[in-house]
């Protein structure tokens, strides 16, 4: 799937929605490792960006995004509209990240 056709908007300039295939999603549940938690704790002493958590969050969001794209491709979509993220703490130190959107088939408008 062309990532230029994956968007947070509900339209794509130059394209029309030919078919709506429904909601697709990617879900990842991650926990912090003990070593990562200790390392991040040390980073908080000095302040600033907690790079260990930033990397964990970015990797988790990226994995959820890719699962959503795979779901869309599996049902025949060539574009995803209205893409959003949501996160929920399932339990202490365990977070679910959900990436979802609407799978569609778009056609180029002449």
The number of angstroms, rounded, from the C-alpha of 52 to the middle of its chain's C-alpha atoms is 19
Euclidean distance between CA atoms 100 and 80, whole angstroms: 9
User: Into how many domains does the chain fold?
Assistant: 1
pLDDT for the residue numbered 50: 63
- Look at residue 31 in the predicted model and tell me its pLDDT: 78
Instruction: Give me the torsion for CA of 61, 93, 23, 54, rounded to 10°.
Output: -10
Q: What is the pLDDT along the chain (110 residues), one digit of tens a residue?
A: 899 999 999 999 999 999 999 999 999 998 765 555 555 555 566 666 666 677 888 999 999 999 999 999 999 999 999 999 999 988 887 889 999 999 999 999 98
**Which CATH number characterizes residue 29's domain?**
3.30.110.70
Confidence (pLDDT) at 26: 98
Per-residue pLDDT at 46: 64
- Residue 53 sits in which domain range? 3-108
CB 99 within 8 A of CB 61: yes
Report CA torsion sign: 26, 32, 35, 37.
positive
- 47 contact partners, CB below 8 Å, separation of at least 6: none
* pLDDT confidence of residue 32: 63
């Amino acid at each position: 799937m062309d990532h230029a056709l994956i968007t947070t908007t509900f339209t794509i300039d130059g394209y029309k929605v030919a078919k709506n295939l429904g909601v697709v999603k990617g879900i990842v549940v991650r926990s912090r490792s003990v070593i990562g938690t200790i390392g991040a704790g040390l980073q908080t002493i000095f302040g600033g960006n907690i790079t260990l958590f930033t990397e964990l969050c970015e990797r988790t969001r990226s994995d959820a995004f890719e699962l959503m794209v795979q779901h869309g491709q599996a049902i025949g979509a060539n574009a995803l509209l209205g893409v959003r993220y949501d996160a929920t703490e399932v339990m202490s130190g365990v977070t679910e990240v959900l990436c979802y959107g609407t799978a569609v088939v778009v056609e180029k408008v002449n």
